[in-house]
Structure 1
């Protein structure tokens, strides 16, 4: 990527916003994060894992095992016990209790962690009240397809040079409306026609998808 590359349109900046942090074009700090995200991509590029993203998980597993760690599957956590302000043990759904002698890292959603695994008695009334008002951000739905040839974008060959391509409406208003509909739990309508028309016809032979 050349050193003088820059995002040149307001629509491009909005897409950095939208996909990078779940911020709408008219959200507070939206423009700031768009700049930060674009700067990071310009600095290090868009990384693609050799052999597929599953190799990231394999590398993490190898690193964990190299330091004496163990991977447990089908071992759901029922509760976390706290003593003197620190996590003391974890009880699994099967009844096993695992004592802790260090840091407990959890990647479950905040509501599940506070309301289910810790409970109000341990988390405290103030924290519990705040988490009950927790405002969920927008989630992403990804569909990964293995096609028999590249997609011919109407935008031209420049789109083929991107590490990933996001489809959406042609204006900031479309993008803002999409966020508004998501936050109201409505069916998405903004930009649907533009998404459908983003790719050119590929002729009489349809694309095939690998199973």
Structure 2
């Protein structure tokens, strides 16, 4: 097989790369160790017939708003991609029985905030007014080629638009932690916590430098565009990408584990499959893998600096997934309106989120982890039988290797055992805000990090 490019791993970034290169006339094949493509972006009836659960990724908004989707969206729609749009995007619940959330209506959001802080409501209105200009600059940075030439061109473009002061302010913002930005922007702790929860989705705890972007961007973007879920499950995104790859003459080859990437004179030349077969690429080998996974395949590349850096790469804490099939919607104590939100966060304060992150980084099971309660059937009723619901839970953050329990209760250090007890901890946290969760549960599935 004569290929221009080999892509290792069929996660979304790998599939997107394949579409791009095929559109340029390259011959491309994607090799995937698992039996199905998609990585974290897949769906299935994992616990009960008729109940469709997203394996990990549920929110597809970043993809829906991407330059890639803008370019290939029509073709992907022809291949089956369809979104279900959430008008009520995310909310947080608090110990005093209240909630605060963001919908796709700026006036509604400002009114909610004004009930607890008129100053913060005015700040929210100001952020809303300035989002268009800020978003243009931020998305230009996120979408820029990472080479010196591309970044240099971007720098001069932004300098002309923003002037030195504006560019300096943007640079500081991009390096700022969530807590620093939130403390300098808002006065009410609930507003801060509602937005800071988004940092935890991307492993940016309140005091992690460079994390302020995500609470800001998710708050403003969800308000401006709503949240996009995959109609019938996130699997529709993976399926449409695979179909488009095949339409363009490419291949996605599953059950084909790559065990080695061979290099020659500092360049990747071929892959070796578990079967022993060697496949060469004329132009590129692209690894859609975590850095530690890439290091296992390349071994000593001959580039000492690269090898040292990849060996020292530090991964963020892990996430535990829980899938539930329910016989009815959650009964949120803070208000029935919460049933219509795609996400409800149980993350009451910046200090609690920071503590959770510190405990997980110390290889301890957090005593009060952040819980992301995904309610996909509130947006897309096709995912469950009539009157029934799917619940998608993320327990963030947890350690990859357990050395203890911050609460001093769970003694297991094997995730296959500890995940059951950790799930009960998560259920307790949810029951405190939505009594009756366990009684509504038909069946469940817990996946360790």
TM-score by length of 1: 0.86
Please point out which of 3, 6, 10 is paired with 2:192.
Answer: 10
Matching residue of 2:317: 138
User: Are the equivalent residues in 1 in contact too, given 2:325–2:443 (CA < 8 A)?
Assistant: yes
Is this contact kept in 1: 2:266–2:303, CA < 8 A? Answer: no
Aligned counterpart, 1:198: 433
Partner of 1:91: 272
Q: Does 1:180 align with 2:358?
A: yes
2:367 to 175, 181, 189: 189
| CA drift at 1:60 | 1.5
Residue equivalent to 2:342: 163
2:299 to 96, 119, 122: 119
Is the Cα–Cα contact under 8 Å of residues 324 and 441 in structure 2 kept in the other structure?
no
Correspondence 1:31 to 2:212:
yes
1:166-199 CA distance string (max 9 Å, x none): 323x222111110111111101103666444121
CA offsets 1:115-167 (integer angstroms, 9 cap, x no match) = x21112x2522222222221111232221222111101122123222212232
Contact conserved, 2:203 with 2:316, CA < 8 A, in 1? yes
Q: Is 2:254 the partner of 1:73? A: yes
Q: Which moved more, 1:1-10 or 1:138-147?
A: 1-10
Q: Unaligned 5+ residue runs, structure 1?
A: none
Change (3 A) 1:54 1:182: same
Q: Report the alpha carbon displacement of residue 83 of structure 1 after superposing the two structures with TM.
A: 3.4
> SS where residue 17 of structure 1 aligns?
helix
How far 1:68 moved relative to its partner? 1.3
* 1:207 counterpart residue number: 440
Aligned alpha-carbon RMSD (Å)? 2.4
Higher helix share: 2
**Number of residue-to-residue matches in the alignment:** 205
CA contact (8 A) 2:266 2:302 kept: no
**Structure 1 residues 15 and 38: alpha-carbon distance in aligned structure 2, compared to 1, 3 A threshold:** same
Structure 2: where are the runs of 5+ without partners? 1-103, 114-190, 370-424, 445-449
- Whole-angstrom distance in 1 between the partners of 2:262 and 2:359: 40
Q: Distance in 2 between matches of 1:206 and 1:179?
A: 31
| Aligned CA distance change for structure 1 residues 11 and 118 (closer, same or farther; 3 Å) | same
Q: Tell me the SS of whatever aligns to 1:90.
A: strand
Deviations 1:41-66 (A, max 9, x none): 22322111111122222111101111
Q: How far has the Cα of 1:113 moved from its partner? A: 0.8
* Greater strand fraction, Structure 1 or Structure 2: 2
Distance 1:208 1:28, change over 3 A: closer
Partner Cα separation in structure 2 for residue 99 and residue 78 of structure 1: 14
1:55 alignment partner in structure 2: 236
Cα deviations by residue, 1:56-83 (Å, 9 ceiling, x for unpaired): 2211110111111222222111111223
